[in-house]
Amino acid sequence: MNSTRSQLLFYRIATGLLTLMLIMTVMNSVFNTEFSSRFVRLGYPEYLIIPLMIAKVVGIITIWSNVSSIVKEWAYISFFFLFILALLAEINASDTDYVSPVLALILLLSSYRIWKNITNKNSKE
């Protein structure tokens, strides 16, 4: 297996796990009635839940589609800020969950770095 194919496999795994994690939060916000109360306890207004979930779905679609590398970079940076804010909210919360935002950041940064490596190799060839 050559280097590009293995990087593509790792990219798909990292991006797939990130997608699964984001879809689970979207589904949790739709079907779990306690989600909105947790969201408010973290310090965010409840009216942000729906736009945030829509933005997550649009961001996932943007990352998986290769329409534009600039738009894809904006999706990655938007998720980065979202996960940093989630981590900061968890740090300030009384009932903390540090694992989810940190894991999401690791998956996001892995996906982004591998994607950049693949696109840089393809542009040099």
Write down the domain spans for the chain.
3-124
User: What's the pLDDT at 96?
Assistant: 74
The three-class DSSP label of residue 97 is coil
Question: In sequence order, which ranges of the chain are alpha helices (DSSP H)?
Answer: 3-31, 34-41, 49-64, 69-92, 99-124
Instruction: Report the largest interatomic distance among the alpha carbons of the chain, rounded to a whole angstrom.
Output: 52
CA distance 72 to 65: 8
User: What's the pLDDT at 125?
Assistant: 61
Range with the poorest average pLDDT among 11-15, 41-45, 56-60: 41-45
Taking residue 117's Cβ as centre, other Cβ atoms within 10 Å add up to 16
Mean pLDDT of the region 6-19 = 95
Q: Give the model confidence (pLDDT) of 58-93 as tens digits.
A: 999 999 998 899 999 999 999 999 999 989 888 887
pTM of the full structure = 0.88
CA distance 26 to 20: 10
Q: Give the model confidence (pLDDT) of 93-122 as tens digits.
A: 777 777 889 999 999 999 999 999 998 877
Task: Give 110's Cβ-side CA count (13 Å radius).
Answer: 19
